[in-house]
Amino acid sequence: MSDLSLTIRPESAGDAQAIERLHERTFGPGRFVLSAYRIREHVDHLLDVSFTARIGTLLVGSVRQLPILIGATSALLLGPLTVEPPFRSRGVGRLLMERALKVARENGHRLVLLVGDEPYYSRVGFKAVPKGRVTMPGPVDSARILVLELVDGAFEGVSGKVAPDWSKARGSQV
């Protein structure tokens, strides 16, 4: 991004509409049937570990993380991570992820789960979850369930169904 001035900053409540429009453009209406969206319907993402990327005042990317449980273990679900198509392949997504993961670690989170392509996400340390160890709601390719330990050994002995962390669920959806 050396040719453009990119700013990564924490997401604010005022960013919601612009981020939703970005998701509409980049993922389309099919995003609502994905397993990760089933979880997002019930629990808000955490603003303190969710970030936006801007060039000037233009929103060009976003990453969100929300609280989940893997069995009885607290974790974060990373996503969606999205970048406006003209700004892809410039490192924006990686910078967003690196900031989100760094702050999550600083804030005491231990594990991050996501559904995505291992070749892309392995660049920041995500690894495939052994098949059958973690199950998501709805249809998902188990090879695309990835995990990152923010604390060494945090995934040892963890298994089970992924669900929203109901202790942080939206009141209107509980």
Q: Contact, 37 vs 68, CB < 8 A?
A: no
Residues in the chain: 174
Count structural domains, the chain. 1
| Residue 172 covered by a domain | no
The predicted pLDDT at position 40 comes to 67
Whole-structure pTM value: 0.85
Inform me whether the pLDDT recorded for 105 exceeds 70: yes
| Residue 1 covered by a domain | no
The predicted pLDDT at position 103 comes to 98
The predicted pLDDT at position 172 comes to 31
Instruction: Name the DSSP class of 32.
Output: G
| Residue 144 covered by a domain | yes
Residue 174 pLDDT grade (very low, low, confident, very high; cuts 50, 70, 90):
very low
Domain span including residue 145: 6-167
CATH number at residue 15: 3.40.630.30
Q: Give the Cα separation of 154 and 140 in Å (integer).
A: 23
Phi, psi of 146 (to 5 degrees): -120, 155
pLDDT tens digits along 137-163: 878 889 999 999 999 999 999 999 999
The predicted pLDDT at position 14 comes to 86
Reading the block at residue 115, the tokens are 């559904």
pLDDT tens digits along 36-84: 666 767 678 899 999 999 998 888 999 999 999 999 999 999 988 898 8
